[in-house]
Amino acid sequence: MVGPVGDELATTRGGDDGQMAPQTTEQDEAERPFAAQLESMRWTHVRGSELTEEDREPGHPLLTGRLAEAVRRINPATPRHAADGTPTPASSWLDESAVGEVVGRLRRLVEHTDGPTLEDANREATRLLLGGTTMRAPSGRDDPVHYIDWEPGSSRNDFLAVSQFQVRTPGGRTATLDLVLFVNGIPLAVVECKSPDLADPLGDAIRDLRAYAGRPLDTDERPGREHPCGVPAVFATAQLLVAADGTQAALGTISADEAHYAAWRSVTPDYEDDKALHREMRRAQQESLPGERHFLAAGQDINGQHRLIAITLNQPNLLNIVRHYICELPVKNDAGEVVKRVKAVCRHQQYRAVEKIVHGLRTRPSRLAPGAVEDDRGGVVWHTQGSGKSLTMAFLVRRLHMNRDPALNAFTVLVITDRKQLQDQLSEALQRSESPLQTAESQADVEGMLEYAGRPGGRMVVFAMIQKYLGRVPGLVLDETARDERSLADDFEQARQRIDAGEDPADVVDPVPAENPARRREFRWCSDSDKVLVLIDEAHRSHASVLHACLRDAVPNAARIGFTGTPILQGRKKLSSEIFGRTIDVYRMDEAEADGVVVPVRYEGRTGPAQVTEGEDLNTRFADLLAPLTAKQKEALRGRWNRPTGRDVAESVPMIRAKAVDMLIHYVKGPLRRGFKAQVAAVSREAAVLYRHALRDARAELMARVRSFDPDRLRGVDPRDYRAYPKDPFNDDLLLLKAWQFQRVLRRIDFVPVISAGVEQKSGRWREWTDPDCQAEHIARFLQPLPTPPPENPWATEHPEEERKGDPPPLGGTNPWSKSGLPPALAEEPPVAFLIVKSMLLTGFDAPVEQALYLDRPIRDAELLQAVARVNRPAPRKELGLVVDYYGVLKDLTVTLATYRDDPSPEVREGGMRDMATEVPGLEAAAAEVERFLGDREITGLHSRAGMVNAMLMLADEDDRAEFDRLLSEFMRSLDRVLPHEAALGHVADAQWWTLLQKRVRRLYRDAPDGDFSLRAYGREVREMIADHLSLPQITQEIVPVSINDPEFDAAVERLANVRLAAAEQQHGLRYHLEQHERRERPQLYEELSKELDRVLREFDGRWEEMKRELGALIVRARQQDEANPALAGLTPAERLMHAQLADRLAREGDGLALPDEQLRDLGVQVCAAVTARVTLASFRSQESHLTSLETEIFQAVRGGLRAAGIRTGTEVHRNIARSLAGHVQEHLPQYQRASGTTGGW
């Protein structure tokens, strides 16, 4: 919302003229209920026009008057003493000058007078808000001064919600924000509201928030003129940003992308459930004064907007979240260097879990409580994999150690994990808790640090690796290397012998883990304080119960909390609840999917029969083993080994070769096309190395086929007619086309094992795959994105012949026992597309770039779900993860999922892991919906020219076009999920014609940003299938350019055989030109031509030939106006735009800056040249640092031009003009970025 300074845009949203219709739906259904609910929660609510001069200066983001009053009110909390010891009221030293300086420190940050980026300013402002500042008191001491009273329950803070809040932009205009929430006159939260009737209201709101902050999203395709004006000063202190539409709301921060905004889906622990919140809201509404707006309609249920407001914007909760639940996360480059930091706020499950833990630590008894036998403060936090448990721990430590309650802030926190990678990850997250951080290198270190628990100076966070702390526990096996070297046949024989010796077959099948008692002398007593909190990461693992015994000796009165995504719930292993006690909080997989924390996972079973030597004899031996067992025991034993030769089969070279070929084919047809990577889980370390050889050989054979492949023979062929030959897996048209298209990437990718060292370590064999430094380098390369993909249209891809000479040769064998040391250094390391593992990296490995997991090893229960979670991490354009089963381990997956979802229903059992084939009915239904929509409007025959023209004209209604876009988007997303499944190929032709219709319609009615059409909203796999169809010559030649100033516009219109369509192109082209250019640049001409256009449309309705002739004359007239002003003759559109803006700014600065027309023209050209030179750099981004550089370029051009014209003014005048023009350029950035070398239309 933008308007002239001082204008009150109380009921309108829109451009600077305020001519758009009142947004009654947006305000009535979103903004006003939002403000009304805040009022019911003791917020004061006013409109921006009701703020007084005592509150703030007009256009300034800080309410400096209220801030000064708050500083006086908050800080005289305790009496102070003069130098002679005489008590002195605190207010006596905080005089008006001191208050002004305290306010001024925050004000200078907000105004960016020192030139920091917005992120830097926000970071420094946050430091001031949390820690305050200091002022020299009369006593000579530096005393603390606070901006906010963080004491729980304090009544000295001022909570004010301002709707339609106006702020001056850097360009001198006014932006109006829907709602800004102030605490003590400081904007802590900004709310953007949208109508729920929009297609994507929350997305639109988030894009507007980022534009207001001066940080437009890369995905925001709107022209710069349609972006809200940037007012970054408001966001210098903002901690929370909220997007709302009356029914839903999402929470983010100044650096959050659209995907990082999250709904607030739970009301606990503040309320028992939604019903309790509903009763509270109903009571508050009944107590409201007559005439006050209601926020809960009769019979209305609680919605997402209600929840977010009730929990996060409740006054105590808001301060709690700002103080404890917001932290900065580092973003690293490929070299592991931190290149920037992003601000993150907790999600609802993290806040809920931490608050429950804190409540338990406050209220539940420790072992020191009278009559207590066990510590009752701890328990299990069961949050599904990928839900941010590391950050939950970090928020917990902040909540404890930044608390003013000595009962909480003195805890020694011991964090225990069993993997170095997890320790590094947790350490990085916890460093932002601002707590002393120690890493124990040995058991002695841990014991020494725990001795300080409960004493002064004991407040700290201690990290301990389970191996270092428990390395001397008798019977504790943490390394599976020895087991890894055994064959399943050996395990089978040992099991038979144990049963023959009389052991219980059930115990042989599912043994109770050995838990040898720890000897007291090995775990000495460290502290009997109950101010010790032990956090055990991945608490489902085998060490948990042994660890429990150790800690009982070392810190007997500690509270223990286990964090896990897959607790032990069944079987003969000790259950998680038996070790840690009560379940504190649960956040299951289906909740995480609904929140977008993880993506859904789909599986495919691709097991097949294997030819194994002596198979009949082994089958007979297996039957002999089963003979004496009961039916239940037989099934259990079969489930444990699948078949006794399972590992032998999995390690056989012919089977690995065959599976490697299938994996590569699956990868090329699927994840590679989306730019994602894969992981292979092999049955042993030996098999992992064998897979590297086999995958490289398969790639070499595929590349050999590609060299003789002619893609042109498939051009124009319906994908349903592509050929494939099951007996020759590489003789597959779709595979060869994709491999040909992606051959540049395929030639380079590498397949890398990452395995633990074993008995071969001394000989140096496999050192490249077991050396920790090599592993770290391989993993780092895996986490990097693949090289830039080829064009989406396969036939637009070019591969020079010299490229094909570099095909990597096959390895010529699959002997994994060959001795290999460290690899030679390469000039350019190939990208790692496959990681091949046995057990490493199947848990605790966070790789959003991984989409496919190829399972070829036995795995079950908690470990299975841990492994599946490797592919569910969200990433841009990643709609699902894939698990491809070559071992048959997923056949009982629904039973496992039902256990972990705590729901026996079939619908829930199939929740997050469904067979890919289950996606096909959804695709069929989505296609049927599009067909129904078109049929209802008598749209048929799109493959013919007449049918396409009729369809375009039938979609003249804007609501119809919006519905078509929605239905087509759902169909395309479903198609992208199913491809390359053969069931999807039958819908590719529909996708081509329906998307062509969408393109033609959007271009005709100029619906899309800049009036153009983009396929970016659809998945790459779909785009590849339809891109060539949309670029065929017979199609492109019928598409009329967007701009009437395009030299081809008239010729394209004349080529249209349908005169009604030609007139429609002229109508919408002229309307687009008037709205996008003349409305702002020449409002009088805009008004005149708009009236003429409306007259022509009325008078000649149905007489298309005459309408076409009249519209042609209006278009000629509009073009001639561009050359009517001699001062503008020959200027490019960008130069004209800059000329008008420069003239306006010079006029505002006074008569002394008036320039003759010729000099004004020259100065405008110079400034425009400086601007385009800067903004057309490939590195330029609409960020604060880049805009500062742009402002400097403009400053120099303006100062030089004015001095050359003989005008001498102060530097401040030049700076004001430069700042205003820089703000103008930011608002029109796409026009200036496209202006270099152009002389026609935009």
Backbone angles phi, psi at 160, to 5 degrees: -130, 130
Mean pLDDT across the stretch 580-594? 86
What does the pLDDT look like over 919-945, one tens digit per residue? 778 888 888 999 889 888 888 888 777
What does the pLDDT look like over 335-360, one tens digit per residue? 667 778 889 999 999 999 999 999 99
Q: In sequence order, what are the beta bridge partners of 913?
A: 601
Q: Which helix (H) or strand (E) holds 332?
A: strand 326-332
More confident residue, 191 or 1030: 191
Q: What is the pLDDT of residue 157?
A: 97
The sign of the dihedral angle between the CA atoms of 1192, 1193, 1196, 1198 is: negative
CA dihedral 390, 391, 397, 402 (to 10 degrees): 160
Q: What is the pLDDT of residue 880?
A: 86
Q: What is the pLDDT of residue 568?
A: 52
List the structure tokens of 564.
Answer: 């896990």
Q: What is the pLDDT of residue 667?
A: 95
Question: Exposed, middle or buried, 664 (CB in 10 Å: 0-12/13-18/19+)?
Answer: buried
Cα angle value 893/895/901 (rounded, 5°): 100
Q: In sequence order, what are the beta bridge partners of 605?
A: 885
| Residue 994 confidence class, pLDDT cut points 50, 70, 90 | confident
1137 DSSP 8-state letter = H
Q: Percent of the chain scored above 70 by pLDDT?
A: 69
10 Å Cβ neighbour count for 483? 11
Cα 420 to Cα 1098: distance, rounded to the nearest angstrom = 75
Runs of H (alpha helix) within 431-487: 443-450, 466-470, 481-484
First to last CA, the chain: 24
In whole numbers, what is the pLDDT of the chain averaged over residues?
Answer: 76
Written as one letter, the residue type at 1141 is: Q
Q: What is the pLDDT of residue 400?
A: 92
Q: What is the pLDDT of residue 189?
A: 98
| DSSP E strand stretches across 722-818 | 750-753
Written as one letter, the residue type at 140 is: G
Cα 282 to Cα 286: distance, rounded to the nearest angstrom = 6
Q: What is the pLDDT of residue 272?
A: 94
The sign of the dihedral angle between the CA atoms of 385, 387, 390, 396 is: negative
Among 434, 443, 638, smallest CA distance to 522 is for 443
Which segment, 727-731, 997-1001, 1107-1111, 1180-1184, is predicted with the most confidence on average?
727-731
Which segment, 15-24, 132-141, 1014-1023, is predicted with the most confidence on average?
132-141
Backbone angles phi, psi at 1151, to 5 degrees: -65, -25
| Residue 650 confidence class, pLDDT cut points 50, 70, 90 | low
10 Å Cβ neighbour count for 224? 19
What does the pLDDT look like over 276-294, one tens digit per residue? 999 999 998 888 766 566 7
Q: Which of 237-241, 316-320, 537-541, 975-979 comes out lowest in average pLDDT?
A: 537-541
| DSSP E strand stretches across 196-315 | 240-244, 249-252
| DSSP E strand stretches across 467-611 | 532-537, 559-564, 583-587, 601-605
Q: What is the pLDDT of residue 425?
A: 59
Cis amide prior to 1133 (ω within 30 degrees) = no
Distances (CA, A) of 578 to 380, 389, 806: 10, 21, 59
User: Which 3-state string (H, E, C) describes 540-560?
Assistant: CCCCHHHHHHHHHHHCCCCEE
Q: What is the pLDDT of residue 803?
A: 52
Q: Which helix (H) or strand (E) holds 914?
A: strand 913-915
More confident residue, 944 or 628: 944
Among 862, 911, 856, smallest CA distance to 885 is for 856
What does the pLDDT look like over 292-309, one tens digit per residue? 667 888 888 999 999 999
Cα 352 to Cα 344: distance, rounded to the nearest angstrom = 16
Q: In sequence order, what are the beta bridge partners of 417?
A: 465
Cα 344 to Cα 1239: distance, rounded to the nearest angstrom = 45
Q: Which helix (H) or strand (E) holds 915?
A: strand 913-915
| DSSP E strand stretches across 260-300 | none
DSSP string, 636-687: HHHHHHSSTTHHHHHH-HHHHHHHHHHHHHHHHHTHHHHT-EEEEEESSHHH
List the structure tokens of 862.
Answer: 């908690």
What does the pLDDT look like over 836-870, one tens digit per residue? 998 777 766 778 999 999 988 877 666 677 777 78
Among 886, 885, 904, 907, smallest CA distance to 895 is for 904
pTM, whole model, 2 decimals?
0.70
| Residue 1076 confidence class, pLDDT cut points 50, 70, 90 | low
What does the pLDDT look like over 1116-1131, one tens digit per residue? 877 776 566 666 777 7
Q: Tokens 């002619």 sit at which residue?
A: 710
Q: What is the pLDDT of residue 107?
A: 92
Number of H helices, E strands in the chain: 52, 27
Cα 1126 to Cα 546: distance, rounded to the nearest angstrom = 88
Cα 954 to Cα 937: distance, rounded to the nearest angstrom = 7
686 within 8 A of 759, measured Cβ to Cβ: no
Backbone angles phi, psi at 1060, to 5 degrees: -65, -40
Q: What is the pLDDT of residue 1238?
A: 38
Residue 480 pLDDT greater than 90, yes or no:
no
Cα 1005 to Cα 169: distance, rounded to the nearest angstrom = 32
10 Å Cβ neighbour count for 497? 11
Cα 805 to Cα 150: distance, rounded to the nearest angstrom = 68
Q: What is the pLDDT of residue 271?
A: 95
